[in-house]
Every structure is written in C-alpha cells, then in structure tokens.
Amino acid sequence: MIEILAALSASSAAGLRIALPLLIIGLLQGEDLWSRVPILSQVPPPVVIGVLVSWSLLEVSISKRRLGQRALQIIQVIFSPIVGALMGMAIARVAAMSPWLVGLIGVVGGLLALVLQLVQIGWFYRLRKLPLWMIFAQDSLCIILVFFAFDAPRQGGLIALLLLWLAIRSSKEWRRWYAEQAHPRDRQQPRRHKQEPD
C-alpha cells in the first residue's frame, strides 16, 4: 500500500509540471540516473539532463504570463499522462513490484496526471489567467510531491488523493456555474418563440 501511495504522489507531480518531476527523480537516484524510468533509461543521461533542464526552465519562465500559460497547457495536456505513467512505473520498479502491477500503476498514474491537468485548464478558462501565487504553489507542490514519493510516501499519497478530491469538487462547481449561466437564456427562450394570440 505504501508503494502505491508513493506512485500516486509521483504521478500527481506530473499533473502539475512535466519536465521538473522527471529531472528531480533522476537526480534523486544518484548514479542510477533514470535507469528505472521507462524510455528515458534508453537515452544517454547527458542528453536527458540537457533536455529536462531546458524544459524545466522554460516551464518556470513562461508560466508567469497568460499567453505562456495557454501554450504550456497545450503541451502539458498532451504529455502529462505519459509522464504521469512514467513516474508511477519508475516508483513501482524501485519498489520491485511485479510487472503486471507496474503496468497497472502506470495506467492509473497517467489518468491521475491527466485529470489534474484538465482541472488546471478548467480554472484557467474560468479565471482567464491563473494568479501568480497559484503558479508558485504548483511549482512548490510538484517538488514536494516528488520528494515525498521517496521520503514520505504516505503523506505524498494523501496529498495526491486530496488533489483528486479537489478535482472532483471543481468539476461539480463548474457544472453548477455553467447551469447558472444557462438559466437566464432558458427563461428568455420561450418569450422569443411565443406566438401572439389570434
């Protein structure tokens, strides 16, 4: 159970940022740089480090502006399920789980990262722009979740489950908000098509 919570913690970090959690997980493994991460283990470490450092700096820099947030979200919604699956599978491999369980955790981790990313997109279009404090909170929480996946998996898993609960609550709030926005139109609609009495 602890290993599953650790995998959820790492995968939820991928729902906030893409390159940053991969960079941290590689640095935390020391000499085994990304040896447990699928796909990345086949690429030379210097190349992976260069790409992830550049991508991490890009994520941190352009996420502070509205146009940068929009461009970044398009990239993140595509790659977040992939990175979430890779992060979950890496933690499962470190815990020496069976291959079928590693694959299952990869699927769950990818879906969790995608859900968290979709929630951020929803708040972006609701608020028109994510406030600066929320951007800093995302960066900090992403780093904390990766560290917790190794050092405090129970706390990291609980934070991941809390983020999932907030995502569900957000979806309900959006549904209520859109319903309230639609009610005035529904009230005016019958008046437009009302026929005059003979």
| 88 within 8 A of 10, measured Cβ to Cβ | yes
Q: DSSP character for 48?
A: H
Nearest to 149 by CA among 67, 92, 100: 92
| 153 within 8 A of 3, measured Cβ to Cβ | yes
Q: Report the C-alpha gap between 198 and 107 in whole angstroms.
A: 64
What pLDDT digit, counting tens, does each position of 11-69 carry? 898 888 888 888 888 888 766 767 778 888 888 888 888 888 988 888 877 777 777 77
What pLDDT digit, counting tens, does each position of 166-180 carry? 888 877 776 776 677
Which pLDDT value is given to residue 198?
Answer: 46
Mean pLDDT within 76-105? 87
Q: DSSP character for 152?
A: -
Write out the DSSP string of 55-121: HHHHHHHHTTSHHHHHHHHHHHHHHHHHHHHHHHHHHHHHTT--HHHHHHHHHHHHHHHHHHHHHHH
For residue 158, the number of C-alpha atoms closer than 13 Å in the C-beta half-sphere is: 3
The dihedrals phi and psi of 128, each to the nearest 5 degrees, come to 75, -20
